[in-house]
Amino acid sequence: MFAMTTIQISAERMELDSLAQVRSGAAKVELTDDSRQRINRCHEALVAILESGETVYGINTGFGRLATERISPEDLEQLQTNLVLSHAVGTGPPLSDRVVRLVMLLKIHSLAQGHSGVRLELVEMMTRLLNEGLLPVIPSKGSVGASGDLAPLAHLAAALIGVGQFHVQGETVPAQQALQTLGLSPMQLGPKEGLALLNGTQVSTALAIDGLWRIRHVFQSALIAGAMSVDAAMGSDTPFDARIHFSRAHSGQQQCAAIYRTLLSDSQIRQSHVDCHRVQDPYSLRCQPQVMGACHDQIQFVGEVLLDEANSVTDNPLIFPDTGEVLSGGNFHAEPVALAADNLALAVAEIGALSERRIALLIDAHLSELPPFLVEQGGLNSGFMIAHVTAAALASENKSLAHPASVDSLPTSANQEDHVSMATFAARRLDGMIDNTETILAIELLAAAQGIDFRRPLKTSQFLESIHAEIRKRVDHYGKDRFFAPDIETIKQLITEEADFPPSIPVTIW
């Protein structure tokens, strides 16, 4: 998908394309000279604070409820090690390599802004590990999204000090052994470095960005499936008329209507029933621009929020070298990410729900005027009957998963951290929801292709004929009942991000 490139880590704003390149493993990262200077300058400010003997939270005190405990200078390094080891309590399956690459990138970028006080050698070590493909094994569960993603980021930090594991070229390797392959020794953390690594929203943000990228791909597949279903059901293209949509001021709706017009342009099937008896189509066909347009606008807004977060410094406290001040705040609170991930969950649930309704329409002979359940000799053959049940089950599951995680909060750290974001779960559950929606869309594409088969010799538009041909290269027409699950899985794999399908829609989406 991407040619190998190098991303410069600087004060400049990172863009989504750069994040996507690192996520896919198609980019290396490099600190600019300016970043190195900022890191060194901030660390020098930290050293000056230590030499002054001033008591400063996170530098020479305990943490959370123990923030009033002063730590002696000789124990400061042990304090950071203890912090990492005690906080490495994550559980659950490990995060994917895609997500961990993003976590590493976001943490490197945050530290490189020069407000965290870490040494340059720590950031350089992380940069080398990312570039060499040594990815810390990070459990997916255990964060409430404030104070940052403490437990998962502790596992990242633990790997740097030789505790835990790395994932290297598909294998899980003990941390010290993996470091030795690069001639590296475990890092001895200095003052504030453990805290700077643990505090931050990088895991929540990485999970949400991973979900965002997948949802953008799902969205494109849903537009194509929906357009195919319009022709399969002999629906009208009148509801996509530009005049309707320019009377309503939502840009996403206008864009989606234009896409449907393009996808259905010059369809023989449409021309065959311009003067038919139908007055209006069901909403799942007719209102696609309105529903998909609303989802589009949510997805686009979320992209802006997550990009802001990706370019932020979210550990605590923050050091401001210009004045030598250390300010304790709450940038680690991941509420923006939680709300953004909740919005993505709503969008992907709606995309799947609308697709499920179109499948139901296609298998209903009274609505689609196609053979019942899209198969010849109905009764002897059940056709798409239970494939639709699967789609309904997944759409229903997504509705439950779409319940906002951000409305929940449980106090932690003896009520010091008395309101948390739940951003990590908000973002993590997107993976399963997207998987569900991909399956629903695979079933719809098969159903729509089946419906178009029944409209022969008429053809759909040139673009949709190319999609139909791609489907039929992989899955034959459903002439009689057969083992159906492999067909669904085949088309699902076709529309996943990794397959780089469908071909680009000839209208700009994002």
Distance between CA atoms of residues 502 and 213, nearest Å: 15
The tens digit of pLDDT for each residue in 128-144 reads 999 999 999 999 999 99
Mean pLDDT over all residues of the chain?
94
Query: If pLDDT is split at 50, 70 and 90, which confidence band does 497 have?
Result: confident
pLDDT of residue 67: 74
3-state secondary structure of 174: strand
The tens digit of pLDDT for each residue in 211-223 reads 999 999 999 999 9
pLDDT at 315 over 80: yes
pLDDT at 480 over 90: yes
pLDDT at 39 over 70: yes
pLDDT at 4 over 90: no
CA distances from 70 to 56, 75, 76, 147 (A): 9, 10, 10, 21
Computed from CA positions of residues 190, 58, 137, 98, in that sequence, does the dihedral angle turn out positive or negative?
Answer: negative
pLDDT of residue 504: 64
Q: With pLDDT > 90 as the criterion, what percentage of the chain qualifies?
A: 85
The answer to whether 412 and 420 are in contact (CB under 8 A) is: yes
User: Which whole number is the average pLDDT over 238-242?
Assistant: 96
Say whether 260 is catalytic: no
Query: If pLDDT is split at 50, 70 and 90, which confidence band does 290 have?
Result: very high
Query: If pLDDT is split at 50, 70 and 90, which confidence band does 510 have?
Result: low
pLDDT of residue 506: 63
pLDDT at 276 over 80: no
pLDDT of residue 416: 73
pLDDT of residue 2: 64
The answer to whether 387 and 484 are in contact (CB under 8 A) is: yes
Computed from CA positions of residues 385, 347, 255, 280, in that sequence, does the dihedral angle turn out positive or negative?
Answer: positive
The answer to whether 20 and 213 are in contact (CB under 8 A) is: yes
User: Which whole number is the average pLDDT over 117-126?
Assistant: 98
pLDDT of residue 56: 85
| Gyration radius (Cα) of the chain, Å | 26
Secondary structure (DSSP) of 288-303: HHHHHHHHHHHHHHHH
pLDDT at 501 over 80: no
Which token pair is 138? 């990070």
Higher pLDDT, 148 or 413: 148
Query: If pLDDT is split at 50, 70 and 90, which confidence band does 466 have?
Result: very high
Secondary structure (DSSP) of 272-331: TTTT-S-----HHHHTHHHHHHHHHHHHHHHHHHHHHHHTS---SSEEETTTTEEE---T
Residues ≥6 apart with Cβ < 8 Å to 485: none
pLDDT of residue 350: 98
Which listed residue (57, 260, 283, 478) is catalytic? 57
pLDDT at 1 over 60: no
pLDDT at 209 over 90: yes
User: Which whole number is the average pLDDT over 348-354?
Assistant: 98
CA distances from 397 to 7, 223, 400 (A): 39, 22, 5
pTM of the predicted structure, to 2 decimals:
0.95
457 preceded by a cis bond (ω within 30 of 0): yes
pLDDT of residue 274: 83
* 8 C-beta neighbours (distance < 10 Å), count: 13
User: Which whole number is the average pLDDT over 380-409?
Assistant: 96
Query: If pLDDT is split at 50, 70 and 90, which confidence band does 415 have?
Result: confident
Distance between CA atoms of residues 109 and 97, nearest Å: 18
